[in-house]
């Protein structure tokens, strides 16, 4: 399977251009869509999930059991293959996990009661919620709700799974548990993970894109994007008051407070005076792409 997005555009009625000529090729496996708040990630996820219309452009899902699917037109066919965990996943607080999953399974077309029971129990085991299956969803922690969310997304063995910012607000242990869960999802599946957390992509994704202000600003394998940046990231500890001057002279991609002083990373082809080299990581890739965009925006 392969998902190909071509020149997708969306401008909301208030004039916000959320997607601008977005073109992406998303292969099987875990794909990370990384971008800051407001970048357009949810708009793109909702469009792929057939929940909102694009103004123009194309999305095609190839090599599915049902052949090639035109996502923007064959919505019903997409929904049969789709598992979706939206950013705002509301749960009915007074319903138990087991009852809610059973209900969603029946909505997804599993009509046979005992088959539903088997499916629901297997999923509750998988997301480690079997012991709380009789508890009301309103009593669940953020992490438990997200694990419940992934359980409902997995009903019916979807081959296209979209999870929109699933780890925002989770503590490190829950995030780790969620990562393990996602990484267990089958290999014959496309999983699109939308996030603003670089670590999510570092840990999980074999392919990725960075989106900002509705545009794709980088695409590729995380390791290749990091390799492209090696030898171009430099570090220096400065006084906070000097920051503005450094910003004027260099592409400062990130700042970090260390023992009351400020450590900056800059992106530069050659070593600036008094800076030391840094081994680049995906965070440097992300910030160098995002700040390059910002600089261009300021100049324009």
Ligand X SMILES: Nc1ncnc2c1ncn2[C@@H]1O[C@H](COP(=O)(O)OP(=O)(O)OP(=O)(O)O)[C@@H](O)[C@H]1O
Q: Where do contacts with ligand X occur on this chain (CB under 6 A)? A: 12, 14, 16, 18, 35, 37-43, 87, 165, 196
Question: Is 252:264 a contact under the CB 8 Å cutoff?
Answer: yes
Whole-angstrom distance, CA of residue 269 vs CA of residue 258: 25
Tokens encoding 110: 């599993």
Whole-angstrom distance, CA of residue 78 vs CA of residue 82: 6
Strand partners, 8: 22
Output 39 or 208, the one with its CB closest to ligand X: 39
Least distance to ligand X from the beta carbon of 259, Å? 32
Output 181 or 197, the one with its CB closest to ligand X: 197
Least distance to ligand X from the beta carbon of 127, Å? 24
| Neighbouring C-beta atoms of residue 112, cutoff 10 Å | 11
Least distance to ligand X from the beta carbon of 27, Å? 22
Q: Which residues contact 220 (CB under 8 A, 6 or more apart)?
A: 207, 208, 209
Least distance to ligand X from the beta carbon of 291, Å? 17
Least distance to ligand X from the beta carbon of 38, Å? 4
Output 39 or 97, the one with its CB closest to ligand X: 39
Output 33 or 181, the one with its CB closest to ligand X: 33
Output 43 or 167, the one with its CB closest to ligand X: 43
């Amino acid at each position: 399977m392969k998902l190909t997005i071509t020149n997708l555009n969306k401008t909301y009625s208030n004039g916000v251009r959320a997607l601008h000529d977005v073109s992406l090729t998303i292969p099987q496996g875990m794909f990370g869509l990384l971008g800051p708040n407001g970048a357009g990630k949810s708009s793109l996820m909702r469009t792929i999930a057939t929940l909102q219309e694009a103004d123009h452009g194309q999305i095609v899902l190839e090599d599915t059991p049902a052949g090639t699917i035109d996502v923007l037109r064959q919505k019903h066919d997409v929904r049969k293959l789709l598992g979706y965990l939206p950013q705002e996943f509301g749960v009915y607080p007074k319903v138990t996990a087991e009852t809610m999953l059973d209900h969603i399974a029946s909505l997804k077309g599993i009509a046979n009661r005992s088959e539903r029971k088997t499916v629901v129990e297997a999923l509750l085991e998988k997301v480690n919620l079997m012991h709380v299956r009789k508890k009301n969803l309103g009593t669940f922690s953020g992490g438990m709700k997200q694990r419940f969310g992934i359980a409902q997304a997995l009903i019916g063995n979807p081959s296209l799974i979209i999870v929109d910012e699933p780890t925002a607000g989770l503590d490190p242990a829950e995030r780790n548990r969620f990562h393990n869960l996602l990484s267990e999802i089958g290999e014959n599946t496309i999983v699109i993970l939308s996030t603003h957390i670089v670590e999510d992509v570092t840990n999980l994704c074999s392919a990725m894109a960075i989106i900002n202000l509705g545009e794709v600003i980088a695409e590729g394998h995380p390791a290749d994007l990091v390799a492209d940046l090696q030898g171009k990231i430099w570090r220096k500890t400065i006084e906070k008051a000097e920051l503005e001057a450094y910003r004027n002279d260099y592409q400062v991609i990130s700042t970090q407070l260390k023992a009351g002083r400020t450590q900056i990373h800059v992106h530069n082809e050659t070593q600036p005076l008094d800076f030391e080299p840094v081994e680049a990581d995906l965070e440097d890739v992300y910030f160098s792409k995002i700040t390059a965009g910002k600089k261009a925006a300021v100049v324009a």
